[in-house]
Homo-oligomer: A and B are copies of this chain.
Amino acid sequence: MAGNTAVPGTTVTSRVLALLTAFDEQHRELGLSALAERAGLPLSTAHRLVGELVDGGALVRTPSGGYAVGRRLWDVGLLAPVESDLRRVAEPFLNDVHAATRATVHLAVRDDVEVLYLERMTGRASVPVVSQIGSTLPLHCTGVGKVLLAHAPVDVQRRVLADLRRVTPYTVTQPGLLLQQLERVRRSGMATTSEEMTLGACSVAVPVRRGDQVVAAVGVVVASLRRDRTRLATALQVAAQGIGRSLG
């Protein structure tokens, strides 16, 4: 038979990680072939490694015969120190905002040219929300994203402005207009969006400051801003200040 033809310089570890990271928000479940293709591995190699990962509890077979991330990886992943101080400190303040507004509340940080969502409390109203804890979205079309972008280094802003993808008909895709908005965000200490990411969803967000650094953003998603933009902003500012103070 053929013998070993693996790409030299690769490791089993890298292949295992390629398999694990083949899963994402849109692909929580994958068949073997899809998994192999997304990981860039030959089918039989993927088959063996996936079997070992299932044995170790890192993956599980789904009822429909595919594969998904397993319990073992879930509880190990939760141990990751991803802004854990910020998340711990912020939790009670986010609860307050949620209790006061009954809207979907977000805590997010900037991850290079994207927003990374750290916490989310789902609101009561049926406003469509696409964010997921642990996933990222573009900076230019979400409330927390605009806040983080407005206080990001110039080179980050430049890179974002160079690629303003249209997500909905209302997404701001003109660099000049967005720059104006960012200036207003810095002045007013608050950002808003209206159906720029998701139709039927508007948002308000404010920065969380540690000293004079903006380290995160808190925001809410609602169906309309007509009624109570000010009330929402006030609740968020109270929370943001509380979080900032608690961060010391």
A interface residues with partner B (beta carbon < 8 Å): 11-14, 16-17, 20-21, 23-25, 28-29, 49, 52-53, 55-58, 60, 62, 68-82, 91-92, 95, 98-99, 121-122, 124, 132-135
Contact = CB atoms under 8 A, between A and B. Distances in A.
Given A81-B28, A95-B121, A76 B20 contact: yes
| Oligomeric state, in copies | 2
A interface majority secondary structure:
mixed
**Most chain B beta carbons < 10 A, residue from A17, A77, A82:** A77
Nearest to A27: B79
A134 B95 contact: no
A21 B72 contact: yes
Contacts of A80: 68-71, 73-74, 77
A3 to B, nearest CB: 19
A148 B92 CA distance: 28
A79 B49 contact: no
Contact of A75 (B55, B77, B98): B77
Given A69-B76, A122-B92, A56 B13 contact: yes
A90 to B, nearest CB: 11
